Chains A and B, each alone.
Chain A
Amino acid sequence: MAGGAACIGLAPRAASASAGSLIMTTYGGSWETFWRQTIAPRFVQRTGAHVTLDVGFGRTFSANLRAAGPGRSDYSILMMNENFVEPLIRGRYFEPLDLSLLSNYKDLYPAAQSHNGYSLIGMISPIGIGYRTDLVKKPPTSWRDLWTNPEFRGRIGLYNLQNSVGKATVMLAGRLYGKGPTDMDGAFAALRRLGPILQTDFNMSTMMGTGEIIVAPYDFGEIARLRNQGLPVACVAPKEGMMMWDQSFTICAGAPSRQLAYRYLNFLLDPEIQLLLARRFFVSPVNRKVVLPPDLHDAVPITGSQIGRILPADWAWTDRNAVELDARWSDAFE
């Protein structure tokens, strides 16, 4: 490892002076390790740029952007979930994407393409229903099974509203039992009918490992990792469609390394890098040119036309109603 959570000087000084420098953001743990060992060195190899790796997540980066002010950030490109992106777009913290600088953009699946003009999705973790194969007699096939299968009662895990999937779950409940994804009354009436649930902001797997919960919204990649560790689990794509964790990329307004930021984004969308990411994190590639090898078919089952089965989320709506969503969630599950 190049060492630590700090700068990684991966280019000779003379080269980095001419090629510029870029701050890459990523998440902690295995993500940081992969970025440090694979992504950053490959990007440096291609561009000769000097790279600094910064570990955090949407909330950290949002706070820094807001403190610096629009157009004054040290970051040029950010990776975060789209629910963090929406309010920052309104605050003019990002520039509209210049798609002419992204040669790989034309190969993206529609679900990954920019729908707001400011962000695109570089990685998709589809969320289906994960369950313990040794503790569930009747495997789920529909999200409605969470409500109707009596063996799930009291043993359901849900992501709370700190997590974008928690917000997507509200929209899902609105779709299933209300007038639509933004029907808050219908959604929370339905969620209340789930009965007692165990909620978490990130770590579902410990509860699944101990058997405290036997079913939960789960991303296919995490289920594959748990299975590799010997836990009897499976994940299904419900017939109504899936939710997802997205890794959205934005270019900061007034980016100090704008050209390099676009090169980095295009690099991440490259089929070769998309395959590396799929192999390491079991995320679904967003580039249609990626051909998954047979050994990844089980771990990354949602590809190609299946990507279109991911339900869209209205993050502008969740952002506008954040306070009410929080209050109603607490009320539903207190």
Chain B
Amino acid sequence: MSRRRVLSIVCAAIYAFLLAPIVVVIIASFNSGAFLTFPPQGLSLRWYSTFLHNEVFIQAFMTSIRIAAVATGVSGVIGSMAALFTARAQPAVANSVRMAMIAPMLLPEVLTAIGLLFYFYALGIGLHHSVALIAGHILLTLPFVYINVSTALRGFDWSWEQAARSLGASPLTAFRRVTLPIIRPGLINGCLFAFIVSFDAFSTSFLLKDIGVATLPLQLFDYLRLNFTPEAAAVSSFTVFATVLVMLLAERLSGSQRRRP
């Protein structure tokens, strides 16, 4: 057997091992029985129907989507601007900004969340109006946009933008027509990661959620503390399907950009 073939088999085995828990959850979600068990006691869409009629879960899903969308949007703007700045700044300044931008990724999520919890109470804002929750999600997602856009900017020749300016384009037009198309794949990938990270964030949401607000991971956690039906697996599987769908869409979007001459 060739080395290449052995390597492929090893890689496939590693992927299978890593993906096995997700496959187990998906199969368990089709369980017709009353318990969250594997293998399932029969196949049914019963728990998907229960989930889709459970307004509490649907509302939590929509809350997660809303918070992830806001966090991704804000991170997309700030992260891109920071990446453009560091690409052009003096090395000493750029390094400081770079460290600040990726710091939330280096710190444990729960520490950032605890810090924000006390910070927002000290400011007198507390957890009202989901300000702390959204700020936490922005911090959490910012490094993903920043790193991806920075990577897209590597090797970018700034003389292209200068050429556009010398031909009469305004700074905004030069950015829109020259820079943005080049960083777009990085921006889309960064935003995709940001959205998924925000959607799945637990510790940040757990500590910073406003009273009466619950994201899907929190709702699922609260549910699983006292209820052990396959509905939890159906909810998890639904989010896996949604995540895969978002990834495919983003890949198509960024892929088409990459292919564009």
- Which residues of A approach B to under 8 Å, CB–CB? 1, 3-7, 23, 27-33, 36, 52-57, 60, 63-64, 67-69, 72, 74-75, 202-203, 205-206, 209-210, 229-231
Contact = CB atoms under 8 A, between A and B. Distances in A.
Contacts of A5: 56, 59-60, 63, 212-214, 219
30 contacts: A1-B56, A3-B55, A4-B60, A5-B60, A5-B213, A5-B214, A6-B63, A6-B213, A6-B214, A27-B222, A28-B224, A28-B226, A29-B222, A29-B227, A30-B226, A30-B227, A31-B226, A33-B56, A53-B212, A54-B212, A55-B214, A56-B222, A60-B207, A67-B118, A67-B121, A68-B126, A74-B126, A74-B211, A203-B225, A231-B35
Interface in B104-146: 114, 117-118, 121, 126-128
A203 B55 contact: no
Given A29-B227, A57-B225, A68-B121, A1 B212 contact: no
Interface of B: 34-37, 55-56, 58-60, 62-63, 114, 117-118, 121, 126-128, 206-207, 211-214, 218-219, 221-228
A63 B117 CA distance: 9
Given A53-B212, A57-B222, A60-B207, 8 more contacts: A6-B214, A27-B222, A28-B223, A29-B227, A55-B222, A72-B121, A203-B225, A229-B35
A206 B227 contact: no
Contact of A230 (B34, B63, B114): B34
A231 B229 CA distance: 14
Nearest to A63: B207
A202 B226 contact: yes
Contacts of A206: 35-37, 228
A67 B117 contact: yes
A202 B227 CA distance: 10
Contacts of A55: 214, 218-219, 222
A28 B212 contact: no
Contacts, number: 104
Contacts of B118: 67
Contacts of B214: 4-6, 55
Nearest to B35: A209
Nearest to B231: A29
Nearest to A28: B222
Contacts of B226: 27-31, 202
B219 A28 contact: yes
Contact of A32 (B34, B56, B126, B127): B56
From DSSP, what is the main secondary structure of chain B's interface residues? helix
Contact of A203 (B59, B213, B219, B228): B228
B39 to A, nearest CB: 10
Nearest to B118: A67
Contact of B212 (A29, A52, A231): A52
A68 B119 CA distance: 10
A6 B58 CA distance: 12
Nearest to B226: A29
Nearest to B128: A74
Nearest to A4: B59
A230 B59 CA distance: 32
A23 B117 contact: no
Nearest to B61: A4
Nearest to A210: B37
Contacts of A75: 211
For the complex of A and B, the 9 pairs showing the least CB-CB separation, nearest first, are: A28-B222, A4-B59, A5-B214, A29-B227, A29-B223, A209-B35, A6-B212, A229-B34, A1-B55
A203 B127 CA distance: 30
A325 to B, nearest CB: 21
Contacts of B59: 3-6
Contacts of B55: 1, 3-4
A203 B227 CA distance: 8
